[in-house]
Amino acid sequence: QQLSEGNEGIAFARVPGWSTIEYSWPFVPGHRGLYPIDGAAEVETSFPFGLFRARRRADVEGQLIAWPETVSLIGMPDAAELQSIDDTFSDRRVGDFGDVLGTRPFREGDSLRRVHWAQTARQKTLIVTERQAPLTTCVRIVLDLSPQSHPPETREATVEHCVRIAASLCDSLHAQHGRVELQLGDRLLVADRSSSGLQRLMDALAVASLTDTKSISPVGNGRVSHHRSNFQINVTTSHGQQAFVRHQIIVVADIPGLSVQLEDHTTPNSAWITSRTTEPLSHFATAWRKVIS
């Protein structure tokens, strides 16, 4: 069964004739993407004793999406932390606005307006409601996968490195209760309140490639964001860097090195992070922490 590139498949010692047998085995994807790679599997038999060989294509029910490799990034740039979104809420932070997240026992200082009277009567003690808190940050991540930015001689390395960095940024900033916008070609994906938004972003990054990506535009032609972030992180290569010189952060992935430029309009200085594409993502996480600290 050809599940992925370079995979020789799984061999079964014996399958009784005219029977239905269910087998299971561990499968670890070696690369991000959608599995099986072509949406089907190939079944082959060499019974008896390898004298004859026959094969048939078999449809596979269901698919597996392997997300890109990520690394945890601690901290958030100051320019992003200054932005507040008062009418967009997080279901992972407790506050005084938004939808009800749950209930808890009354604590000294709680407003009587938050008392849940039905639960209070049932529990015979004061019970209050917990609501959502506003998201405090908004960051747009632009992933440049245009062919012009990824020359053929370094394309495989730069594309994968850019995707991994973009995925790490999306995952880490969302975990820090930020509203994350991902611009991928002419599509704009938004993750704000729940984990389902982040899943959509990671699913898109899992299958992102040069073939389905149009040129990057400053606004994007996909879903319109009503709270478009003024703070933007651009993931590109040195060949596409000039297209983003007006924005605050530029992440440049190229062989032999990776550069991350943080450029805020309010400050004249630029901070750079350098990491090689052959190095693990943990090096990028260390450099990121040093820059934003």
User: What are the structural domain ranges in the chain?
Assistant: 1-66, 78-84+136-292, 90-135
User: What is the maximum alpha-carbon separation in the chain?
Assistant: 82
Could you tell me the end-to-end alpha-carbon distance of the chain, in angstroms, rounded to an integer?
49
Average pLDDT, the chain: 75
Among 54-58, 140-144, 146-150, 264-268, the range scoring the smallest mean pLDDT is 264-268
Q: What is the mean pLDDT of residues 112-136?
A: 82
Q: What is the mean pLDDT of residues 48-61?
A: 81
Question: Is the separation of the CB atoms in 70 and 171 below 8 Å?
Answer: yes
Task: Tell me the one-letter amino acid at 290.
Answer: K
pLDDT band at 215 (very low <50, low <70, confident <90, very high): very low
Measure the CA–CA gap between 225 and 217, rounded to whole angstroms: 14
pLDDT band at 221 (very low <50, low <70, confident <90, very high): very low
Counting residues of the chain whose pLDDT is more than 90, the rounded percentage is 20
Q: Which two tokens stand for residue 37?
A: 């790679």
Q: What is the mean pLDDT of residues 18-30?
A: 83
Measure the CA–CA gap between 27 and 182, rounded to whole angstroms: 29
pLDDT band at 6 (very low <50, low <70, confident <90, very high): low
* Residue 203 φ then ψ, to 5°: -65, -40
The tens digit of pLDDT for each residue in 228-262 reads 556 788 888 777 776 666 555 666 666 555 566 55
Q: Is the pLDDT of residue 46 over 50?
A: yes
Give the side-chain half-sphere CA count within 13 A for 243: 22
Q: What is the mean pLDDT of residues 130-150?
A: 79
pLDDT value, residue 70:
96
pLDDT value, residue 224:
39
Distance set, CA 2 to CA 15, 56, 76, 257 (Å):
18, 12, 42, 35
pLDDT band at 168 (very low <50, low <70, confident <90, very high): very high
Among 110-119, 120-129, 163-172, 216-225, the range scoring the smallest mean pLDDT is 216-225
Q: What is the mean pLDDT of residues 197-223?
A: 70
Q: Which two tokens stand for residue 22?
A: 């269910």
Q: Which two tokens stand for residue 199?
A: 């899943």
pLDDT value, residue 199:
95
Most confident of 60-69, 71-80, 249-258, 267-276: 60-69
Does the CA dihedral 29-235-81-261 come out positive or negative? positive
Q: Which two tokens stand for residue 219?
A: 């606004």
What pTM, to 2 d.p., does this model score?
0.70
Q: What is the mean pLDDT of residues 80-101?
A: 55
Contacts of 55 (CB under 8 A, 6+ apart): 42, 43, 44, 45
The tens digit of pLDDT for each residue in 27-41 reads 888 889 998 877 777
Q: Which helix (H) or strand (E) holds 236?
A: strand 232-236
Question: Is the separation of the CB atoms in 273 and 156 below 8 Å?
Answer: no
